[in-house]
Amino acid sequence: MPYTITDKIWQSHEIAREDEFSLLYIDRHLTHEVTSPVAFSDMRQRGYRVRRPDLSLAVMDHNVPTDSKENPTMDDLSKKQMDALWDNSKTFNVPLLDFYSPYQGIIHVIGPELGFSLPGLTIAAGDSHTSTHGALGSVAFGIGTSEVEHVFVTQTLWIKKPKQFRIKINGKTRKGVSAKDLALYIIGKIGTGGGIGHIIEYSGETVSDMEVEGRMTLCNMSIEAGARSAIIEPDEKVFSYVKDAPLAPKGQEWEEAVDYWRSLKSDPNARYDKELEVDASSIKPMVTWGTNPSMVARVDGIVPDPSEIKDQTLKDEYERALKYMGLKPGQKITDINVDYVFIGSCTNARLSDLIEAAKVLKGKKVSKNVKALAVPGSEWVKRKAERMGLHRIYIDAGFEWRHSGCSMCIAMNSDRLPPGKRSASTSNRNFENRQGPGGRTHLVSPAMAAAAAVYGHFVDLADVDIAEVL
């Protein structure tokens, strides 16, 4: 019987099965300051301990201020949650990358870059975008608070095996089209519920040609299509990406690991519950116009007219979205002005993302009406970028060059989009109030965000000069 990569990893980790649920062994567990307090509190009350502290990693990311390490802007709630994680990590002996750690960063950025996340593993974290780690060829799930506790105490998880949805992407991408644009296009095509109950497996020549960090963006955004997770077969690019990571296997263990990882491929005749083929060459840079990621248009397109929608429920959603976003039917996407630009988040704050945006920014200045923030995904990414001189390009252009953290993606810190203001954001969600109460969010790629910062509105990247920065 032919198997998919998900089947192979699942079967090798399944301990028991009851009805539709499997008890899976969890290889790696990531946690942060927002979803862990209740789990730790209950464990204290019950006298539980963490079964395998060495297989867990705690990170401060959602609440951390990004403006300064010496005199940070921090509200009481943020400080309280960060202090709680420090105390809980010490009590339960869980390794912690705290606010001052040189490896601190966003949970889904530091996992792969440190080699804590690897191919063939099962990975769990109290954060929906854990699907990001599937880009390495792992089965990775976001979990709830009670499940966080279960993993801490047992190193296992009861979970229903998702259905499988293969999306093949073929064709050469146009100038200015990135993994973020592919993700937004797919979400626009299948909707925010198109992946519900499924793990999406991405394949095809476009995915194979894509660098690992682009694949992470693709897997990260799969959650916005309603998917349970996402996965991509590991290849030589993945092996090279994790090879010298601090926590990756070394010596003979490395050779043995790679031999196993090479077997993690879906068999030619493997069966899927759903399939979709996408022609990447037909896709233009994308910009969301509404209040969920499926409300998206090509940059050379227009804001849709709700009156042309036959489905009443969808029509009502469009009307509400346009009212919240302050847009008019038929308005050109390129006529939408922005007030803020945010380059960051677990979707697009890796080194390659910063490079792509810097190519647009080099030799240019941010529009006088725009406030622009560049927030690297980790302190390690920040140092790498600075050694390359990228920070000078951002600062000279007029960006604020920040420390790492989730920042304006979720606004649980001091980085917030003011009411009524409009942002071009490389994050993953454009829900109402997501970046701040009353804030209006347009999801875009790093290059598109940089261009919007310069011109003050969205522009077709085919018409923008791209410089060399390396």
- What pLDDT digit, counting tens, does each position of 95-131 carry? 999 999 999 999 999 999 999 999 999 999 999 999 9
Percent of the chain with pLDDT over 70: 100
pLDDT of residue 409: 97
- E strands, 149-228, are 156-160, 163-170, 198-203
How many C-beta atoms surround the C-beta of residue 183 within 10 A?
28
pLDDT higher than 90, residue 318: yes
What is 5-161's CATH number?
3.30.499.10
Give the separation between CA 310 and CA 163, rounded to whole angstroms: 30
Which token pair is 132? 């990001």
Give the separation between CA 367 and CA 220, rounded to whole angstroms: 30
User: What residue segments make up the domains of the chain, in order of their start?
Assistant: 5-161, 326-463
| 184-195 average pLDDT score | 98
pLDDT higher than 90, residue 228: yes
- pTM listed for this prediction: 0.97
Give the separation between CA 167 and CA 5, rounded to whole angstroms: 14
pLDDT tens-digit readout, 42-73: 999 999 999 999 999 999 999 999 999 999 99
β-sheet bridge partners, residue 296: 288
When pLDDT is cut at 50, 70 and 90, the band that residue 27 belongs to is very high
Give the separation between CA 228 and CA 200, rounded to whole angstroms: 8
Residue 151 makes CB contacts below 8 A (sequence gap 6+) with 26, 29, 56, 124, 143, 157
Which token pair is 354? 């910063």
pLDDT tens-digit readout, 287-299: 999 999 999 999 9
Count CA atoms closer than 13 A to 93's CA, side-chain side: 9
pLDDT higher than 90, residue 232: yes
pLDDT tens-digit readout, 15-26: 999 999 999 999
pLDDT tens-digit readout, 357-382: 999 999 999 999 999 999 999 999 99
pLDDT tens-digit readout, 394-448: 999 999 999 999 999 999 988 999 999 999 999 999 999 999 999 999 999 999 9
How many C-beta atoms surround the C-beta of residue 264 within 10 A?
20
402, 66 Cβ separation under 8 angstroms: yes
| 178-186 average pLDDT score | 98
For 358, the enclosing helix (H) or strand (E) is helix 351-361
Fold of 326-463: Aconitase; domain 3 (3.30.499)
pLDDT of residue 214: 98
Say if 5-161 and 326-463 have the same CATH topology.
Answer: yes
Give the separation between CA 149 and CA 43, rounded to whole angstroms: 7
| 213-241 average pLDDT score | 98
Residue 448 makes CB contacts below 8 A (sequence gap 6+) with 176, 285, 287, 299, 424, 458, 461
When pLDDT is cut at 50, 70 and 90, the band that residue 276 belongs to is very high
Which token pair is 466? 């791209």
| 259-263 average pLDDT score | 97
- Residue 302: DSSP 8-state: B
333, 301 Cβ separation under 8 angstroms: yes
pLDDT of residue 218: 98
Q: Which long-range contacts (CB under 8 A, 24 or more apart) does 250-257 make?
A: 257/118, 257/119
Give the separation between CA 336 and CA 438, rounded to whole angstroms: 17
When pLDDT is cut at 50, 70 and 90, the band that residue 470 belongs to is confident
Across all residues in the chain, what is the average pLDDT? 97
pLDDT of residue 365: 98
Q: Specify the 3-state DSSP secondary structure of 32.
A: strand
Distance of CA 120 to the CA centre of its chain: 20
β-sheet bridge partners, residue 229: 199
Q: Where do runs of H (alpha helix) occur along 93-178?
A: 107-114, 145-154
